[in-house]
Structure 1
Amino acid sequence: MANTLQAKKRIRRNDKRAEINGARMSRIRSFVKKVETACTEGDKQAAEIALKHAQPELARGVARGVLHKNTASRKLSRLTKRVAAI
């Protein structure tokens, strides 16, 4: 258990940040899932639109420090390939 005031504050802050970052990751996953669902259904137009919406979300995740830039780049590359393959 934390004894000092700064350790207690750090615990409070970490809990708050974890909640915010969890929400951000959930949002990113939702956008990626929309692209994957459209690809599975074979709807190219919907997949392209979903990809255009997912791209800035992934970039925002990198900017906010939730995702590593290479992870976002890899996900975007793979999604783009899947959409192009339809």
Structure 2
Amino acid sequence: MTFAEEESRSHLSMPKQSANKENIEILKKDINKLSYEECIAELESILLNVQDENISLDKIQINYIKGHLLLKHCEELLQFCEQEINEINPEFLNID
């Protein structure tokens, strides 16, 4: 089951009028558990959902919020990876 399917069936479903802060915080915690690859898969799923001509405005709003949080998490994961790469001491790479 994908993250999107789990989320839609769980208590995290956001109200139709607006996404309240509590649900967003729970969503953030769940997203922070995802790997980079899982986040990309979720972003691709959101993209497909948004391209549906019959999507409601409420679903567009929910997808926007999820997409924003997923993208932010991806950026944080990439920054962490970049930092780790920059900290590699070239002397450790000498296998001579």
TM-score, normalised to structure 2, is 0.37
Q: Of Structure 1 and Structure 2, which has the larger fraction of its residues in helix?
A: 1
